[in-house]
Structure formats: structure tokens, C-alpha cells
Amino acid sequence: MVIGIDASRANREHKSGVEWYSYYLIRWLAKLDKDNQYILYTDAPLRGGLLDLRTKQYYPDQNGGEEIYDRKGYQIIKSPFNNFKAKILKWPFKYLWTQGRMSLEMLFCRPDILFVPAHTLPVVHPGKSIVTIHDIGFERERRLYQKEEMGPESTRARKLLNIFIKIFTLGKYRADTIDYFRWSTAYALKKAIKIITVSNFTKRELTSYFGADPDKIKVVYNGYNKEVYRKIDDEGGIRNVLEKYGIERPYLLYVGRIERKKNIPTLIEAFSILKENKDIKHKLILVGDASYGYDETKYMINEFDLSNEVIMPGWLPELDMPYLYNGADAFIFPSVYEGFGIPPLQAIACGIPVAASNSSSIPEVVGNAALLFNPDDPYDMAAVFKKIITDKNIRELLLIAGDEHIKNFSWEKCARETLKEITDMNSR
């Protein structure tokens, strides 16, 4: 059986939740499945850890190998059972690669089963297709998402594309990012044989909001990288990484995009309230790429006079991250809406107390291994921050609970359960 996988997200250089999900699933499927053949579809040549799937769980992208192609034009990638290859689907435009180029590929040379790890199913697809839908925050929290027009740079061309989209969808959708999320999710729910979601919360959202059939939705939890995210006793290594980014202890840590939907402005306000207590010497470290609402975050930092107290080093290499986690006094996760949320698991695995929102899927993910707060109330948030910093008994209880809770998650487990859902379709 030939299984095709959309690997375009897994191949991105700066990865966050969905990209890491795609990346680690591919790497673990290569280790687990010796029976099926795989084609990885991508919009650019594969690199780093996707070139050699035989290596240990994590493989730094910057140390990839040479690009080699076979006589049929497939990119050669190494795998434990020699059953993976990649097909680069070139597309002259910066938009609609999935609906344009992927659809063309599926029209003329489709696999037996297509697996899309992130929402968007091409219009032309195999009868047996499976899609992972991570969340529907673009519907539930639309105010937190940036609406951008899609299409070429030319205003005239964009208007023509928008007219075409409105005609194609009978006036229901426009050519912008939010409507594309809405359409692609509804289309995947209707056309895919099976849907994977990453939490029971997201499954409930899909059934309640879109009226999706709960029987075709399977919940498979995300994992985390056990080899990278762990407790580190190397104090010198921790110190070296902190010095590399100009970070001094003590500090609270956040990891994720710096954007409005992660609730960073409220986090800044809560941190300002916390710092009114002069005994709190902690700084706040925000690690991640800038995204929609970043300017608002900078404004809040200046407004509360926290320029010397909030450090934003940007996106950091994966191998440095466990040292930042281990050096922190606590990890903070203030997001309003998450389909899952991998960073809290990474913090728990590193033996760091976690304070997180009591909203969406987050309580389901962290269980009893985190202190929860109301993400809309900066005073409640600040009170929980103070408690997790100063109360030694609570910190100890969280760490004990975390050691047990983290055993429920791994990328290997995620891949085994996903593989079962994929291969079960072949019996239909």
C-alpha cells in the first residue's frame, strides 16, 4: 500500500506546534512501519531530519545531508526500511499550493491513502483520505486572528481571485485567510474518510460547531520529544545557554508565538501586577517568532515600563530549549484557545512547575500537573504566578504530579495510534 503524506509543514525551518507534529509523526512512522510505501509531498526539497529518518528521535535540521534524486525525479531519503521517498511539487505561486499543485498530483498520480497532518485537504484527493484538524480557534476566537487577503500582489488579480472564490462557493467565502480556514475545515470534515483530532476538546468543538459526525473523528494526543526535553543536571550547560541569549536567573518562561491569540498582552499586564511586589526579582522570557499582535505586545511592555524585565530572544534552536526550560523557576502558558498545546508538556518533562490557562483543551492536556488561572483576568494570573514562585509545597506537588502525568505522552505513542487509524482505512 502506498501512503502519501503532506510534508510541507514538517519541512519548515521555524517549527511550532503543527510543524513539530508533522515532523515527528513522519520520523516515527518511518521507524514503526516496514510494510507500506510512503511518498512525502513537499513544496521545497526536504532537509535536515527529514532526509535521514534512521537517526534518533531528534535530528537538527541544520546538519542535513546532500539532496539526491533518483531517475524518476523523487528525492532520495534514508529510512530504516527503505520505504520512504519524497516528491517535490513545484508551484509558481506563493499561495494555494495545496489546492493547485497537490490537486494536480492527486489527479494524475494519487497514492492509495493520503494523510494530511494539518487541516487542508486538496480538492482532488484519493477516496481514502485522512486529515488532522488541530483546532477551530479561527471560528471560536476570530478576533484573535489576522484576516489577510490571499492571492497575487496585484490588486486587480486579487479582486479577480476573490470573485472566482465567491462564485465557486456560491458567495459563502472570500479569498482571505480566515475564510480559507473555515472552508478547508468544513471541506475536510465532509470529504475525508476519517478525521484525527489532538484532544477531546477539539472533537467536541467539531461536533458542536460544524455538526461533524463524531464516529469519524478519532482522538490521538500529541507527544513530546523525550530525548530533548528532560531534566538536566548540567549546571554549566544551562549557564552557557542562558549567557548565549543574555538571560539571567530568576525568570519565568513562555514558549510559543508572540501573538494576540496566545494572550501575550494579558500576560504582560499580569507580569506588571506581579512585579509590584518588590520581593519578586524574576524576569519574563518570551521565546518564539513574532506574529499577529506583536506590536501590541511591544506597546504593553513600554506602557508598563517593563523593557528591562521582559526579554524576547525570538525563535531559538530546538537543542537550546531544554536548557532554557531547566533554568526557569516556572513555565507560563496564558493562551486563550488551544487544540492541544505542546510547550506545557515540554516544561513538565523538564521538571519545571507549570501555570496555565483554565480554558479550551489546556486542562485536559496538563491534568493535575499545573496550576490553572483565568486567562481573561490578569489579577488572577498574577496571583497564580506568585503562588507558583513562592509556595514550595505547591511546587513540589506539581513536580510529583508531573512525573506521573508525562508518562501518558510520547511521539512514538502518537505515531502508533495514528498509523493504526491510517492502515485501518485500507480495510474499508
pLDDT digits (tens, 9 = 90+) for 396-419: 999 999 999 999 999 999 999 999
Out of 116-120, 144-148, 184-188, 309-313, which region has the weakest mean confidence (pLDDT)?
144-148
Please report the pLDDT score of residue 16 as a whole number: 79
280: helix, strand or coil = coil
208: helix, strand or coil = helix
pLDDT of 59 higher than 60: no
In our burial notation (b when 16+ CB lie closer than 10 A, e otherwise), range 79-117 reads: bebebbbbbbbeeeeebbbbbbbbbebbeeebbebbbbb
pLDDT of 283 higher than 80: yes
Average pLDDT over residues 274-292: 92
Pair 363, 340: CB distance under 8 Å: no
pLDDT tier for residue 253 given thresholds of 50, 70 and 90: very high
Please state the separation of Cα 11 from the chain's center in Å.
13
Average pLDDT over residues 75-90: 94
Please report the pLDDT score of residue 158 as a whole number: 67
What percentage of the chain carries pLDDT values higher than 90?
A: 70
Please report the pLDDT score of residue 260 as a whole number: 82
Please report the pLDDT score of residue 172 as a whole number: 74
pLDDT of 367 higher than 70: yes
Please report the pLDDT score of residue 71 as a whole number: 85
- The torsion of the CA quartet 122, 124, 127, 129, rounded to 10 degrees, works out to -10
Pair 154, 164: CB distance under 8 Å: no
pLDDT of 226 higher than 80: yes
Cell of 398: 506539581
Please report the pLDDT score of residue 177 as a whole number: 72
Parallel, antiparallel or unpaired: strands 354-357 and 217-219? unpaired
Average pLDDT over residues 331-341: 94
pLDDT tier for residue 169 given thresholds of 50, 70 and 90: confident
Q: What span, in angstroms and rounded, lies between the C-alpha atoms of 140 and 202?
A: 11
| Closest to 141 (Cα-Cα) out of 349, 355, 335, 388 | 335
| Closest to 422 (Cα-Cα) out of 265, 89, 194, 235 | 194
Out of 184-188, 198-202, 332-336, which region has the weakest mean confidence (pLDDT)?
184-188
| Closest to 137 (Cα-Cα) out of 409, 406, 385, 361 | 361
Please report the pLDDT score of residue 48 as a whole number: 83
Average pLDDT over residues 161-169: 70
Instruction: Tell me 149's DSSP state.
Output: B
Q: Sort 130 into a burial class: Cβ within 10 Å, 0-12 / 13-18 / 19+.
A: buried
Q: What span, in angstroms and rounded, lies between the C-alpha atoms of 220 and 134?
A: 10
At 112, which amino acid appears? D
Out of 171-180, 202-211, 263-272, which region has the weakest mean confidence (pLDDT)?
171-180
pLDDT tier for residue 360 given thresholds of 50, 70 and 90: very high
Average pLDDT over residues 23-51: 94
**What are the Cα distances from residue 201, in Å, to 47, 126, 258, 360?**
34, 28, 24, 7
Please state the separation of Cα 41 from the chain's center in Å.
19
Average pLDDT over residues 298-321: 91
Kindly state the helix (H) or strand (E) to which residue 218 belongs, with its residue range: strand 217-219
pLDDT of 427 higher than 70: no
Q: What span, in angstroms and rounded, lies between the C-alpha atoms of 317 and 243?
A: 15
| Closest to 229 (Cα-Cα) out of 354, 135, 77, 78 | 354
What's the pLDDT tens digit per position in 128-162?
999 999 998 887 776 666 667 766 666 676 677 66
Query: Between residues 257 and 252, which one has the greater pLDDT?
Result: 252
pLDDT of 393 higher than 90: yes
Q: Domains, the chain, ranges and CATH?
A: 2-223+411-427 (3.40.50.2000), 235-408 (3.40.50.2000)
Pair 4, 116: CB distance under 8 Å: no
- The torsion of the CA quartet 343, 349, 350, 355, rounded to 10 degrees, works out to 50
What is the chain's Cα-based Rg?
22
Average pLDDT over residues 241-256: 95
The torsion region of residue 365 among left (phi > 0), alpha (psi -120 to 50) and beta comes to: alpha
